[in-house]
Amino acid sequence: MTHVCTLTLPPVNEREALRYAACPEPDEATLSLLRQCINEAQPVISPRVCWCVQEVTMTDGGCRLGHIDTGSHDLGNILDGCDQAVIFGATLGVELDRLINKYGHLSPVRALMLQALGSERIEALCDSFCAHISEQLGAGLTPRFSPGYGDMKLERQAEIFALLDCPKNIGLCLTQGMIMTPSKSVTAICGIGGSCGSCGSHNSQCKCGLCTKTDCLFRRSV
């Protein structure tokens, strides 16, 4: 059964937004631009999440989530010890995309900052949802894992969309090239009751600790 929820987002983490904008040491003009973008974007952001719980079965090819054969050993390693997993789709809605597109023609710098802000907001939505669902289920969650991570093929995205009926439930669509629209959207999987194999915690935000790309510009310290 698929559920739909809306969540109130926490205040913008300016440091995270600036990290996405590749401005770790902003001047006053950059900070002012970010705050202008926050004021303009907040009214048009419409956070929504759809989700369901599926049984986890380990296979020779990795793991299965309900009827979805993920073909991913990396996901299987994360879900090791979990009997169930939460699969979810999250989006900020189409209006933010329209705002970014508008400034793509009028002010590319503002468009870039709005892109960074959107990245911070969708991560905040995913974090808020994971905290909410962890409390609701009374169990910790593993770090999030999405199609395209590690050895999980991006094509699995289509099966997740079909399972959750993302277009109907939250207005999230998928192109033939596996691109999500609206762009500030995420689909992900979290094991229920497991812990992070990297740090031993139940922290869903430690994805960087599971990634081998240590030279990534956006890597958090882990």
Q: Give the chain's mean pLDDT.
A: 90
Q: Residue 209 — very low, low, confident or very high, per pLDDT cuts 50/70/90?
A: low
Mean pLDDT, range 81-89, rounded to an integer: 97
Q: Which of 25-34, 68-77, 178-187, 199-208 has the lowest mean pLDDT?
A: 199-208
pLDDT at position 189 = 98
CATH code 3.40.109.40 for 3-210: yes
Q: Residue 205 — very low, low, confident or very high, per pLDDT cuts 50/70/90?
A: very low
Mean pLDDT, range 50-79, rounded to an integer: 96
Nearest-5° Cα angle at 36, 31 to 41: 125
* CA distance to 136, 165, 222, per residue, from 4 (Å): 14, 11, 32
pLDDT at position 214 = 57
Q: Residue 222 — very low, low, confident or very high, per pLDDT cuts 50/70/90?
A: very low
Could you write out the DSSP letters of every residue in 106-129? H-HHHHHHHHHHHHHHHHHHHHHH
pLDDT by residue (tens digit) across 139-189?
Answer: 999 999 999 999 999 999 999 999 999 999 999 999 999 999 999 999 999
User: For residue 213, what are the contacts with CB-CB under 8 A and spacing of at least 6?
Assistant: 219
pLDDT at 62 over 70: yes
pLDDT at position 135 = 95
Q: Residue 30 — very low, low, confident or very high, per pLDDT cuts 50/70/90?
A: very high
pLDDT at position 117 = 98
Domain extent listing, the chain:
3-210
Distance of alpha carbon 87 from alpha carbon 142, whole angstroms: 12
pLDDT by residue (tens digit) across 95-143?
Answer: 999 999 999 999 999 999 999 999 999 999 999 999 999 999 999 999 9
Distance of alpha carbon 95 from alpha carbon 102, whole angstroms: 11
